[in-house]
A and B are shown apart, each in its own frame.
Chain A
Amino acid sequence: MAKKILMCGNDACGEGAVLAGCKFYAGYPITPQNELTAYMAKRMNENGGVFIQAESELAAINMVFGAAAAGVRAMTSSSSPGVSLKQEGISYLAGCELPCVIVNMQRGGPGLGNIAPAQGDYFQSVKGGGHGDYKLIVLAPSSAQELLEYTFLAFDLADKYRNPVLILGDGLLGQMMEPISINADMQPKTFEKPWALTGCKGRSPNVIKSLYLGDGALEEHNKKLQAKFALIRQSEIRAQAFHSKDSEIMLVAYGSVARIAKSSMDMARAKGLKVGMIRPVTLWPFPEKIIEEACATAKKFLVVEMSAGQMVEDVKLAVNGRAKVDFYGRMGGGIPTEEEILARIEALV
C-alpha cells in the first residue's frame, strides 16, 4: 500500500506536477495559492527544473509559453485576479497549440474581491477567458488527492492534444490539509515534440505562431483547432454519478462544493428521498450526455455552486427542457452548507 502523507491541496498540486515531469514553473504571488509557488520553488530546485518568480502574471504565462515552445513540461498557477491577467497568454498558447498546465485556485470576485474560496471563474475557464475561438481542457478536482492526480493527468492531456489544460480549484481545496497517497506507477510519460524550438540542427527551422495572414489561412487553422476540440469532446469527458438509476432529484456540483453536496445527498437518502448527484470532473468538455441520460428518471435538477449561477447554464443546455433546473449558490466567499442544500432539496420535493 502506498504511503500516506499529509499535504495541503496546493502542495499536492505541485507534487502532481513534479511527478509528471514538470521542469519549468513561473508564478507571481497571490493568495490563496502561495503555498504552490513556494512548493515549486523548492521542488524545481531539487529536481533540476527551473523556477522563476515573474514580475507579473503576464510575464509568468509568457515564460511558460517560452518553455512550452522549447518542448519542456511547464506550469504556472494563480488565483482569480491573476488568472484574468494570464488570459492574453492563454489565448496565444491555445492559438500556437502549446501544451502547458495552468492552475487557478479561485477566490471571491469580481475585482480584488477577497481571498475566500469561490467558483466565480467558471465562465472564464470553460467559455474562453481570452480572445478567439479556443477551448481549454478544464479539470475540477475536489480533494488534495485529486489535485495531485489531476495535475499529473493534466500534463499528459496537454501533450497529447497540444493544448493548455486548466486545473480549476478554489481557496478551500488549496488550503485544506488532507492525507494523500502517491501511487508508484505515477511516472512521467514522454511525448515526441518535433515541432518544438530547439535550434534547427539537422532539420528545417520550426516556427511557433498564431498569426495567419494569408487568404483563408486563419479559417483553416481554426478548423484544425475545432477538429481537435471535437476529438477532445469525444474522448476526454470525465464525471462521477451517484444513484443515477433511480433518482428523482439530481444534484449537480463540482470541486469542493461537490463534496458538500454529496453529504446533502446522503442526508436526503437517509430521509428516504430519491436524490442523486452528478459531479463533472471535466468542466470542459462538459458531461452533457450523462446529464441528458439522468433525465430518464430525474425530473428536477438542483445545481449548487459558489457563484451567482454559471455552470447551471450548461446544465440547462444539457437538460434541454426535459426537467426543471433549480439553482442554489453562495457568492463572495460564502460556502454552501449541507443543511442549506438539504433544505433546497426538500423544497423541491
Chain B
Amino acid sequence: MKKKKIVKKRIKKIMPIAAGASSDIIFSRPESLRDVENHYCAGCGHGITHRLVCEVIDEFGIRDRVIAIAPVGCAVIAYDYWDFDVAEAAHGRTPAVATGIKRVLPHNIVFTYQGDGDLAAIGTAEIIHAANRGENITVIFVNNGVYGMTGGQMAPTTLAGQRTTTTIHGRSLRREGYPLKILEMLAVLPGVKYLERVSVHSSHEILRAKRAISKAFKTQIDNKGFSMVEVLSMCPTYWGMSPIQAAERIKNEVSTFYPLGVIKSC
C-alpha cells in the first residue's frame, strides 16, 4: 500500500495532471493532443513524441499561442493530431517557414517537427542557417535513420551497414558517406542555445526526453535563441524488427553512435 502511494506521487511529479482534470486522475490525454487515432505503425516513436510535445505545451500553458510547422515525412499530418495552429511546409523548408512566422509574430511560440530526411538531407541549408541566425524557435528532430513515409530508403542518419531499400547490402561508408551528427554540427554556432539528444525507446528515456523538450521550449519562452531536441526513434517497420527489438536496437546500437545527453546549454 505504501509503495503504491509513492509510485502515484512520483507519477504525479513527472506527469502533472491536465488542466481542469480531477485530482484523482494521474494520467490523461493532454489538452493539446486531439482525441483521435493516429496512423503511425506499431512501435513507432512519433506517437510518444507528439504526446511529449503536447504535455510540455500544456504545462507551459501556451497552447493558444503555439504555431507548429509540420514536415514532409511520416509526421506530415501531425496537424490532425495537434490541437493548435499548424502550417505545413515543403520538404525541408520547415525552418524557413518557422523563421517567417516567428519574425512577424515574436510573441508566439513557434516550433518545427522534422524527420531526418526533412532536416538532415533536403533541408540542411535551412536548418543550419535558421540555427546560425539564432532564430528564437524550437526544433523537434525525430531521427529514426530511415525515410519511413516513402518506404524505408537510406537517410543521412542511417548507420553504417544498415540495410534499407536503397542500401540493400547495408550502408557503405565509402559509397554513401557517413551518418550525419546534426547536433554536433550545430553546437559550434553561437546562435544555438540549447541542444539535447534523447530517445523514446524506454519509459526512463521518455521521461528524460520530456524534460529536454521542456527545456528547449523554455529556451524560446525566455527569448534566448535557437533550441533543438533530437529524438532517437524506432521504426520497426523499416528496420524489419518487432517493436521490442527496435527499442533494443536504439539502446544497444543507435545510441552508441548518437550519444544521448545535453550537447549544448547556455
Query: Which residues of A line the B interface, CB within 8 A?
Result: 23-24, 26, 50, 52, 54-56, 58-60, 62-70, 72, 74, 88-89, 92, 96, 197-202, 205-211, 213
Contact = CB atoms under 8 A, between A and B. Distances in A.
Nearest to B129: A55
B216 interface: no
Contacts of A89: 90, 93
B180 interface: no
B174 to A, nearest CB: 30
A65 to B, nearest CB: 5
B86 A74 contact: no
Given A58-B93, A62-B93, 13 more contacts: A24-B100, A54-B96, A54-B129, A66-B98, A70-B104, A74-B104, A198-B67, A199-B66, A199-B105, A205-B83, A205-B85, A208-B88, A211-B88
A69 B77 contact: no
A89 B92 CA distance: 11
A68 B109 CA distance: 17
Nearest to B66: A199
B266 to A, nearest CB: 24
B59 interface: no
Given A201-B65, A213-B77, A65 B86 contact: no
Contacts of A55: 125-126, 128-129
B64, B93, B98, B125: which has the most chain A beta carbons within 10 Å? B93
B66 A65 contact: no
B206 interface: no
Interface pairs A-B: 3 shortest CB-CB: A66-B100, A62-B96, A201-B64
A205 B86 contact: yes
Interface of B: 63-67, 69, 76-77, 79, 82-90, 93, 96-105, 108-109, 125-126, 128-129
B121 to A, nearest CB: 14
Contacts of B109: 199
A65 B100 contact: yes
B19 to A, nearest CB: 15
A70 B100 contact: yes
A210 B89 CA distance: 9
Contacts of B108: 198-199
A197 B96 contact: no
A68 B89 CA distance: 13
Nearest to A69: B87
Given A197-B67, A200-B64, A62 B85 contact: no
Contacts of A199: 64-67, 84-85, 105, 108-109
Contacts of A58: 93, 96, 125-126
A209 B105 contact: no
Contacts of A206: 85-86
A24, A50, A199, A200: which has the most chain B beta carbons within 10 Å? A199
A23 B104 contact: yes
A205 B84 contact: yes
A197 B98 CA distance: 11
A74 B104 CA distance: 10
Contacts of B87: 65-66, 69, 197, 207-209
Nearest to A91: B90
Contacts of B125: 55-56, 58-59
B90 A70 contact: no
A5 to B, nearest CB: 29
B18 to A, nearest CB: 17
Contact of A69 (B66, B76, B97, B103): B97
B76, B77, B100, B105: which has the most chain A beta carbons within 10 Å? B100
5 contacts: A58-B126, A74-B100, A199-B66, A207-B79, A209-B87
